[in-house]
Copies of this chain bind each other. A is one copy, B any other.
Amino acid sequence: MFESAELGHRIDKETYDREVPKLREDLLNAQYDLSQQSRFPVIIVVGGVDGAGKSETVHLLNEWMDPRHIQTHAFPDPSDEERERPYMWRFWRALPPRGKIGILFGAWHSAPIVERVLSRSKSAKLDQSIEEIIRFEKMLTEEGALILKFWFHLSKEQQKKRLKALEKDPKTRWRITETDWEHFKSYDRFRKVSEYFIRQTSSAAAPWIVVEGVDHRYRSLTVGRLLLNAMRERLAEKPAARLPEKKSPMLPRLDGKDVLTSLVLTTKAVSKEKYNREMEAWQGRLNLLTRHPKFKEISVVFVFEGQDAAGKGGAIRRVMQALDARVYQGIPIAAPTEEERAQPYLWRFWRNLPRRGRFTIFDRSWYGRVLVERVEGFCSENDWMRAYSEINDFESQLVRNGTVLVKFWLQISREEQLKRFREREKTSFKRFKITAEDWRNRQKWKPYHQAVCDMIDRTSTEIAPWTLVGANNKYDARIKVLRTIVGSLESAL
């Protein structure tokens, strides 16, 4: 893996001085086009051996190009807000939007490698991280990102020489700390672990590029050229170029039976008195749970999905009533903002994840991708087909991080929906709840039905199962929601 980066590559000064002005001009041109097109972000990941020119390269790229369109991020000590979310949260925070270049200095690869080198984690943990990273990068590239991962390498002998040279020079002495020498002691182990890591996380779409770090001219020219070519190639692609749509094989419903048709929608009516009594009991229990001493150690995410008028809002309000306004945040999902549109579709959900000891209640969610976006054709079949596993990845990160995730699908019958639409039109203060769009969506009952069934089949997992709620009877539906929530929290605490 590192053989080609230990050959003593070198570029003479003359060649370098001749090449650089043209390269800079071309890079600036590419950067300009990138910004104009605003179709994709460029993510440059910088990793490798200490002393191999990582920070020099970060500075150089900022010097060669227009730094106003480059966002440089490094990831030292995480803040508590970062520690309280899944590992990837801080990287999501730092993703460049379309049209910009993001340089990530020591990104998601660093911690897994270092932890393993220092034997703070087992190899199984490393493999889990690798798996997570592969899937994350795959998602990024499929969302359009151009990812360039540079690994700057030095042989053991070269690193020793380099550290000594830096230490000798009064101008650079400050850059060498004890940590560097300590790291040097574990060079062999570091090399072994990172070789394995690089091999495992080099995919076709986002391979690691190992660059020999000894000669700064060779290193700089290599990175500059590679970056330029990669950007040029992507910029030249026709915007419309998409993978040919392939019909994915989905389970046909031969006998008309599916999870929704099998669901009992109308339960026997409970009296208002009984409902009030039960509701109060469940709300009280839910509230008590938030006072549990261990509650401060978990995060809670509720997802409410369902047809128009299925009663999401009402159910959410009953949940909120039981909670102190200090511990929850309700996030209604409507059209994304400009900043959100410039990022992968999961970005706006990541940015709203709760800290520990808090709830986030999503009124509609990331499932829009496989529901409305699928049915309305807002994204391609490839896009929504891959979303199932992307969503499962996302949710498993949440759950592994100690988040209690509860997902509800509220289902009503077509007749019940019609009844509710009509009621809404009649009740003056409910009129805003019914729009032309609701009527249009109603016309697409069948494709939505299909999309919901597929969604449940593909994303109801052991760690994050869907709770299907037959919601023709509002009282009953709300009680079921509260009961499920209390059950999930009780088993978590």
A308 to chain B, nearest CB (A): 13
Partner pick for A58 among B76, B79, B171, B325, CB 8 A cutoff: B325
A residues 303-342 near B (Cβ < 8 Å) are: 313, 316-317, 320-321, 324-327, 329-330, 332, 334, 337-339
Cβ-neighbour of A330 out of B55, B72, B291 (below 8 A): B72
Q: Distance in Å from the Cβ of A292 to the closest Cβ of chain B?
A: 12
Supposing A59-B321, A72-B330 touch, asked if A25 and B428 sit within 8 A by C-beta, the answer is yes
A349 to B283 alpha-carbon distance, docked (Å): 41
Q: Does A28 have its Cβ within 8 Å of any Cβ on chain B?
A: yes
Tally of this chain's copies: 2
Q: Which of B59, B63, B363, B429 contacts A68 (CB 8 A)?
A: B363
The docked-state distance in angstroms from the alpha carbon of A326 to that of B59 is 12
Cβ proximity bits A413-431 to B, threshold 8 Å, 1 near / 0 not: 0000000000000001101
Q: Which chain B residues lie closer than 8 Å to A105 at the CB level?
A: 325-326
Using a CB-CB cutoff of 8 Å, which residues 9-49 of chain A contact chain B? 21-22, 24-25, 28-29, 32
Asked whether A317 and B363 contact (CB < 8 A) given A74-B325, A174-B284, A174-B291, the answer is no
Shortest distance between the CB of A73 and any CB in chain B (Å): 8
| Number of residues from A at the complex interface, CB < 8 A | 57
A355 interface residue (CB < 8 Å to B): yes
A residues 234-293 touching B (CB-CB < 8 Å): 280, 284, 287-288, 291
User: Which of B72, B291, B330 is the one whose CB lies under 8 Å from A325?
Assistant: B72
The minimal Cβ–Cβ distance linking A383 to chain B, given in whole angstroms, is 23
In the bound complex, do residue B325 and residue A55 qualify as a contact, i.e. CB atoms below 8 Å apart?
yes
Tell me the minimal C-beta distance from A372 to chain B in angstroms: 15
A80: CB under 8 A from chain B? Answer: yes
A62 at the interface (CB under 8 A from B): yes
Complex Cα gap A189–B320 (Å): 33
Closest residue of chain B to A324 (Cβ to Cβ) is B55
Distance (whole angstroms) from the CB of A204 to the closest CB of chain B = 29
How close is A357's CB to chain B, nearest CB, in angstroms?
Answer: 9
Apart from A24-B429, A76-B327, A79-B79: 20 A-B pairs, beta carbons within 8 A = A21-B429, A22-B428, A25-B428, A29-B432, A55-B325, A59-B321, A59-B325, A62-B320, A66-B433, A67-B313, A67-B332, A67-B363, A68-B363, A79-B80, A79-B81, A105-B325, A105-B326, A171-B280, A337-B337, A337-B339
